Amino acid sequence: MGKAGTKGVSRTDRERQIVDVAVEEFGRHGYASVSVAAVARRAGISKPLVYSYFDSKDGLFLACVHRVGALLADAVAGAGSRRGSTGHALDTLSAIFTAVEHCRHAWSVLYDPALPPSGEVRDAVSLYRGRLAAMGAAGAAGLLTRAGHDDPLDHELLNGVWQYAVTAVMRWWSEHPEQSAAAMTARCARLLTALGTG
């Protein structure tokens, strides 16, 4: 639109705003389908400004990964810790819901299945996924050992299923924006008790 020249927005503020937009775009459409120009447009600025602050598309995505990775890891680490796998799962989900209530596509950024198959981006994503998996599904281990199963591959698979289940819940939530975090927690509580009595 307007000519060149500063608009009085500090670099820090602008970076935060760009990452806000980028998280939503990446979370909604996936890494491969989002163009830097689209992010710039939706942020109301021009493409070279994005490159000036983040160097490359990967750099922008990395910033998003660190943003949402820290947010989610902190939330899960600080979650309540009831005993019993159902209670533990609910505590974890509740912590995630409240953490991303104003940034609902955060989870999908970390669990975008169409990432570049190698490189720095993949490494950073794997790092945060690993942390979330270790914490969130530590309860799953107890669940399996209590049932007498100790195959490590079983644990690995249950871990993957747990993370994809959370992904499903998050995507459903993005499509039902009227639902509050508390309502989501209650809903998941109903589902989990129903599963336990199946």
The H-assigned helical ranges of 82-137 are 85-99, 106-110, 120-136
Q: What angle do CA 174, 178, 181 make, to 5 degrees?
A: 75
**Rounded CA gap, 118 and 112, in Å?**
14
Nearer to DNA, 48 or 160 (CB): 48
| Residue 58 contacts DNA per CB under 7 A | yes
| Residue 122 contacts DNA per CB under 7 A | no
Q: Tell me the one-letter amino acid at 50.
A: V
- The residue whose two tokens read 């070279």 is 48
- Minimal distance in Å, beta carbon 141 to a copy of itself? 11
Q: What 3-state class would DSSP assign to 105? A: coil
- Enumerate binding residues for a copy of itself (CB under 8 A): 29-30, 32-33, 84-86, 112-114, 117, 143-144, 146-147, 149, 151, 153-154, 156-158, 160-161, 163-165, 167-169, 171-172, 176, 187, 190-191, 193-198
The residues binding DNA (CB under 7 A) are 1-11, 14, 34-37, 44-49, 51-52, 55-58
